[in-house]
Amino acid sequence: MIVKFQLHPLLISLSRIVSILLLLVLLGLLTRPIEAPAWKAVKAGQSEMNLEAFEGALGQGLIIGVLGGFRAILADFLWIRTNIIWERKDRAKLDSMVRLVTTLDPRPDFFWINGSRMIAYDVPNWRIREEGGYSDVSDERQQAIDLEQSAQAFDLIDQALNFHPNNAKLYLEKAQIYLNRLKDDANAAKWFLKASQQEDAPYFAGRIHAELLRKQGLDAEAYDFLKNLHIELPNIPSAQKGIILERILNLEKTLEIPPHERFMPSKEPLVN
């Protein structure tokens, strides 16, 4: 007598599902040799999106943007919303919106730079006013707020540098925050120097670096830097080589450089 085992329909369905899943895993493994090198090449040229940022975007109902299409336009509309929040001085929302916009579209430096400006310059003012205004809040507290907000802005700029490692504007932004908000000449000088070393750096970055060195009493360093700068810069009006030469001459007087050791600029006439 032959006994026929009949499986429960649920078990049959389950076994089908499992076998299909296993087939799909096998497919994934088979395509891995094609996918892995292609993905490596594609990923290198794509703006990254992490799980945290993605969760934030989902909360804003931006699934379409996150999926790949319309990321740029959604980021633009969100930036307009960020500005409305900025006008309302809602600092908690402002921070999350800036991060969301830069996550959605990290390509334009506009969002990073303006976002960091809002965080470093505007938010400290709001916080100080919230706590009673500039006359009532102690200098130490004001400084603490400035430091806190600047740290957040630096964090944002550091993230931006991951996407735009050679963008001089971002280095300049950090330098400006150190200089204008934190009154930290040493760090500002450091970041102006970094900005001046980028390919698209404006000519003034190097000049400001030298001025800040001079301000800190580092005249010899400023002198050496300006001499090199004068040699490196092209002879065009925007490079302002005349001003640099003037500063070199002033420093030579201050440092009492003997005449035979003084800087000799090239003979071609300066264009001012």
Where does this chain bind other proteins (CB under 8 A)?
A: 20-21, 23-25, 27-32, 34-35, 37-39, 41-43, 45-51, 54, 63-64, 66-73, 76-77, 79-80, 107-111
Closer of 6 and 50 to other proteins (Cβ): 50
Q: How far is the CB of 196 from other proteins (least distance, A)?
A: 23
Q: How many CA atoms lie within 13 A of 76 on its CB side?
A: 4
Closer of 40 and 267 to other proteins (Cβ): 40
Which amino acid does the sequence have at 74? L
CA dihedral 117, 149, 152, 80 (to 10 degrees): -40
Q: How far is the CB of 15 from other proteins (least distance, A)?
A: 13
Residues ≥6 apart with Cβ < 8 Å to 45: none
Cβ(115)–Cβ(101) under 8 Å? yes
Q: How far is the CB of 268 from other proteins (least distance, A)?
A: 27
* CA–CA distances in Å: residue 169 to residues 113, 166, 172: 8, 9, 5
Length of the chain: 272
Q: How far is the CB of 10 from other proteins (least distance, A)?
A: 15
Closer of 12 and 147 to other proteins (Cβ): 12
Closer of 18 and 151 to other proteins (Cβ): 18
